[in-house]
Amino acid sequence: MSGGKTKKRVTMMDVAKAAGCSQATVSVVLNNVTDIKISSDLRVRVLDVAHKLGYGLASPIRRAGLEDIRGGCIGFIVDQLATTPEAVNAIEGARHASWENDVTILVAQTQGRAENERKAVARLLQAGVQGIVYMSIFTRRVSLDAVFDDLSVPLVLLNCYTSDNRFPAVVPDEMTGGRTATTSLIKKGHTRIATIVGESFMEAAQDRLAGYRTALAEAGLNYDDALVAEGNWTPTSGFEATQKLLSLREPPTAIFCQNDKMAMGCFMAIGEAGLRIPQDISVVGYDDDELSRHLRPQLTTLELPHRPMGAWAIEELAKKSRSGHRSLHKVVCTFIARGSISRKSA
Domains and CATH numbers, the chain: 12-49 (no CATH), 66-171+306-331 (3.40.50.2300), 174-304 (3.40.50.2300)
Closest CA relative to residue 308, chosen from 332, 337, 335, 336: 332
- pLDDT greater than 90 at residue 85: no
User: What's at 251, amino acid-wise?
Assistant: P
Closest CA relative to residue 338, chosen from 287, 304, 302: 302
Quote the pLDDT of residue 345. 78
Quote the pLDDT of residue 217. 98
Burial class (CB in 10 A: 0-12, 13-18, 19+), 115: exposed
* Between 53 and 147, the higher pLDDT residue: 147
Task: Look at the chain and count its residues.
Answer: 346
pLDDT more than 90, % of the chain:
62
| Confidence at 66, pLDDT banded by 50, 70, 90 | very low
The answer to whether 184 and 284 have CB atoms below 8 angstroms apart is yes
For residue 297, what are the CA distances in angstroms to 174, 223, 264? 25, 28, 11
CA pair distance 284, 256, nearest whole angstrom: 5
* Between 345 and 307, the higher pLDDT residue: 307
Mean pLDDT of the chain: 87
Quote the pLDDT of residue 323. 46
At 101-136, the pLDDT tens digits run 567 899 999 988 999 999 999 999 999 999 999 999
Peptide bond into 252 cis (omega under 30): no
Determine which helix (DSSP H) or strand (DSSP E) holds 261, and give its type and residue range.
helix 260-272
At 207-249, the pLDDT tens digits run 999 999 999 999 999 999 999 999 999 999 999 999 999 999 9
